[in-house]
Structure 1
Amino acid sequence: MGEASNGVGGVDNTFRKKFDREEYLQRARERQEKEAEGQGKSKARGPPVQRKPLKQRDYHVDLESRLGKTQVVTPVAPLSQQAGYYCSVCECVVKDSANYLDHINGKKHQRALGMSMRVERASLEQVQQRFESLKKRKDPGSFSEQDFDERILKQQLEEEERKRERREKKKEKKREKTVEEEPEEDPDVAALMGFGGFRTSKK
């Protein structure tokens, strides 16, 4: 008790870690040298790859061909035969159509195709040519009320034809059912059982 009151004991802080300032400065210098070497190597590789601008898809995206079909899926099957939508460019399977569309419109897929996500800026001549082609395709002078009436009449005739075909198919199905329901009499079996046939009004 006398030692504590005199203040001779003090606080023991020898367990704390002591940092060597020189050692950490040396490590920092080495790291900076490595980063500088890495940047020099990346510059030596050459200019970055020039990618083509985005362009319109020239194929139809098939989302409905396998709709409603059942398929046996095994874990050892190749990716192209697994459940979902297979992307042959990125070699991956996407589980639903919304995610598949997101994937083929996304950055990773477009880069794999060699395109950047930038759209090519159209020139004045290209815009004028586009307007001209649209005007030729949709010429207001070529459309008249007579054409409109003819189209309506044609649609009505087609609709009537479809209804008539449906009625004929229904009648045909009814005939097939009645033929199937009537039992056929076998004369040999009827003679064996001792009667010539059932007495009906039908002959």
Structure 2
Amino acid sequence: MTDKPHNPKDEELERAEHDAEPQPVDVENTQTIEDIEGVLQDDDEEMLNTSDQEADVLAGRVAELEQQLAEAKDQQVRAAAEAQNARRRAEQDADKAKKFALEKFVKELLPVVDSLEKGLESMSEDVSDTHREGVSMTLKMQLDVLGKFGVEQIDPHGEPFDPQYHEAMTQVANPEMDPNTVMDVMQKGYTLNGRLVRPAMVVVSKQA
């Protein structure tokens, strides 16, 4: 059998027919639309996760700063309160020091007042009225001066016994008085601006 002579035109037709035929597809190297969409979704989720983490970090930082601000405000309020309390205590101490600075001086003057009172009580009837009046005026002036500085006299004769201001020297049965009543005042007491300087020495009644 004799081969047909080689014709260039035939070869060109064969090549054109071959190229027109469907070519096989490489499945391994070809990405489908679903694959591409999956990759895009993964990227979006990664970006969202990164954004969420940054938001969490920022939210935590904001919470931390708010806590620090609240603590700073609390410390400021406490410091202001402590300063105010310290100033109030200093004012109270100064006021007390001013009120009771004379306490020692008053205690030194009380025996003088006691002496004038006892001298006036012990004067006999033959003492001149001028002498008696002089001692009485001196005693009154002394008490008036003490009163100007907040000194008050405690003379509880006939009053119920009060251990805060009275010192019981003895108890005597007395059917004419209620028990625990001051029968006699042996020595008067004194207060300075409401604070006891010396209690009154008294005789207290008891049930007969």
**TM-score, with length taken from structure 1:** 0.21
Higher relative contact order at CA 8 Å, sep ≥6: structure 1 or structure 2?
2
Q: When you count strand as a share of all residues, which structure comes out higher?
A: 2
Larger Rg: 2
Q: Which has the higher helix share?
A: 2
